[in-house]
Structure 1
Amino acid sequence: MTGNDPMKLINSIAFRLIVATLIAVSFLITVMSTISYYSQKNLLEQRQQQQLQHAISRLELNLPTAVWNFEQERIVNILKSEQASEHIAFIQFINDKDEVSATAGDNKTEQKISVPLFFVEDGESNSLGQLAIYIDNDSILSVLADLLITSVIEALSLGLLIILITYTLYKALIAKPLLMLTLALENMDRGESNLTQRLQVGNKDEFERVSQGFNRFVEMIQAIVKAFQESVAKTRIQAMQANDDAKESIQLIAAQQQETDQMATAITQMSSSAGEVASRVNQTAESAEQARKDTQAVALILQETVASIEELAQQLKSSEHAINSLDENVKGIVSVMDVINGVAEQTNLLALNAAIEAARAGEHGRGFAVVADEVRGLAQRTQASTLEIKEKIDGLRASTNTAVESTLASFELSATAVDNAKRSEASITGILDATSSISSMSEQIATAVNQQSNVAEELSMSVNQIVSLGYDNTESLNKVSNTIQALLSLSKDLDELAKQFIT
């Protein structure tokens, strides 16, 4: 056995499973044994207490007569008969003078029970002394020791049996499928990168899920390798196409250099005609600038007019809001007057009913009838006042409506004036923009023509530089062609590497 074998054993699933099972079983057996031990102990102690209580009862019944009659021999015999019990180690009788009169047994224990003795004669209780009973726990300890030994033996036997069963089940349910899975993986590893191999799916358990997961992983790798092989093939095709394009570009650059000389001649002719165009454009720009200034002055006057009309319209709108608010308040007052009128009518009706009831009451209701008449009079005056106020409010509402209509008409007229002014302003603005555009365009054209003349000279210099760059581009394309050749070689190597995988 090598030095790594113990570590392999400790790290194995079987060892960890057996240890875990042993710990669990040991804990369970310990708990059960402890419960059984203390249950048996409590039962034995209860039986001991019952037997001791029976012995005390017999002693309290038989011993007082013998002590009262000074029958020493009988006293000793009674004590010896009770001491013969397995739970009593020693008994002694102490008289009322604290003198030991009789004993039974050899050994005193730490646990003792004291029982007072009395003799009843003619209804009078006479104290005789007390009994000291020393308890013997050896029988209980012996039974508990046997129980503990039995529990340990049973625990060891059961633990070994469970370990054996667990190991057997592990070999059948885990070790065997795991070994098959390991062998299958090793076979795939020795299969020269054959991605078409798959693990065999067996029982419906965790190993099946592992096998399915591995098979899905291999399928994904297989798809990636296939895509990689296709990409390598496409890369080779594109590299070959790029090589052909580079060769064609070299030929095109040579033709471009010939065309560049012809372009230089055309640029010289363009520079000579640019001067005449520039003088014509400057004259047009001066006329357009004067028209723009005149139009701008008219636009400023029209803007002030539009602002004044808009301010007037805003004031009319504010007046409309104020009159509408007044109309709403008047409506609120009318609603309140309607409520007051309703209350007056109800008061009048109630006063009438009160007067009728007072009339029925005769002499006793005369004073109440006078008050009811006063209330009716007050209600009628309230109704009359309410009607007068309502008529005045109706007149106010009519005046308010007339003011609203006049304000609306004025607002519509001001809005029409604003629209007309804005349309005029828009037209003038269009004229101003057009003249500004003409002036700006004229300046731009003049500038462009001047620049064109300058550019023509620069173009002449640039054409010469283009020729020089053409030679540089030719050299660069040759380098690109060499790089493409290297890429073709690399793609060939990648293709050989990808073919190592069987897909």
Structure 2
Amino acid sequence: MRMGKMRSIGTKMNFLFLAAFLLLGAVLTYAANIEMTKGMKNTIIHKVQSDLQMSYAYIDEKYPGDWSVQNGELWKGKTKMSGNFGAVDEVGKLTGDTVTLFLADTRVATNVMVNGKRAVGTQVSAQVAQKVLQEQQTFIGEAKVVNKPYQTAYRPIQDGSNKVIGIWYVGVSQESINSAVLSFLTVFCAVLGAVILLTLVAVLLFTRRMKQRIQRIVSALQAAGNGDFTVHVQDDTEDEIGMIARGYEQMQQNLQHLVRNVSDMAEQVAASSEQLTASAEQTAEASLHVAEAAQGFAQGAETQGQLILQRAAAVSQMKERVADIATSTHIVSEVTSGTTLQAEQGEQLVEETVHQMSSIHDSVSITDEAIRQLHDRSQEIGNILSVMQGISEQTNLLALNASIEAARAGEHGKGFAVVAEEVRKLAEQSQAAASEIAQLIGTTREDASKSVAAMREVSDNVAAGLRISRQAAEKFRSILQGMQDLVPRIQDISAVARHMSAEAQETAGGMQEIAKMSAQATASVQQVAAATEEQSASMEEVKMLADKLEAGAQSLQDVTSSFRIS
């Protein structure tokens, strides 16, 4: 099984430590071998160099006299050194080295053994012969002795005339060095293996404890990934795992707070959506009533305008008759009876006109109050939208904080990051819907304001028409009273006739003004009806957007309900 596929971090760490310790042991063993071999060689070199000087001085003292060659044999003073194995064995015992006497380049006395026999008669290596015999210098270093590597020291043997006649040698076999190094490495590896074993046991115990601590955190994170934030991790240590545990606890508290806030806000948005839907329905219903009232008022105003035109024509006819009375006083008695009857009819018509204008004034007042209520209701809806926009902004901000905390959680926070992204999208949709509703409400408020202004103008015009109609009624009463008094006051008929002519002319002008005002009122009411229909359509759109907002809030509640926080 490859290490990358191991599920347990403790197993990975154990394998990692084992590989590291094995590599470290191999490196240390290799380095110890090199350094030990190098150190042993340096030590042996110094030893053989020292042994060379000491043994040569020892031979020189024990066997006094000059070195010489006699009859092809090596002599020291009066002592024959060729074949003198006692001398080389004695030096060998003192130094622990191999010792050899050369006559020229040939061994004549040595404790070096070949196949169980002394290597007498063998030659020194060409490298040594060149250095010692030819160059007459001491040779220190590794050299072949009977075809085996030795750490050696050679010095020339000179006779009384300083002629080089032989070589004095001491050395140590490389096999003895290798044996010493091998012995050291055996002990070193045993100690190193024991240390590595004890360290691995300690590491195993440590990783087992660490694995248990990490497993608690992993279990809590897995539960959190499934929406369960009720699992707690208690770890009071000050190391990185303890910091991770405390970070998880902090994240858990923050996410619990976030989920609670999102859930509460979703409930608030749902409640606000329901309230907005109800307000939109009420406003639409009120708009329909206003439109119906405005249509009825427009029809009544149109009929009233026709009646006013008829009354104006009647007043014009009356003015002509009064003129005839002024010029034809001799037929006053006959005309007086007819005029009295017409005056009574005129008074009745004017009274009807006054009554109709009062009705128009009342209708205009009702319409004006309804539009004012529509304007106020639009203001209330605007306030609700402001609250919704604030909630959407807060929801968007909380979604952003949740994304940041999920990003900090790394791989384990991806699930919650998706939830936070959905929350943010819902918040943006809510904010966009609220903005659209705010625009529709703004348009509705502008239309309502225009309608209020138009209805105020209509109300003023109707009030003026009502005032003029009442004045006309009073005039007709005066005419009727005058006509009733005409018989006993026949002598004043001309003055009364002129007065009636002037009053009739004034009344005709007033009736024309009333006709114009009635036409204007009709046009204004039609504008109010059109604006009210637009307002009703806008309220339908508001209701649709409110339904979407309520559905989004319900979806948000469904998402947050999947989390366990207590």
TM-score after normalising by structure 1 = 0.50
Q: Which has the higher helix share?
A: 1
TM-score after normalising by structure 2 = 0.45
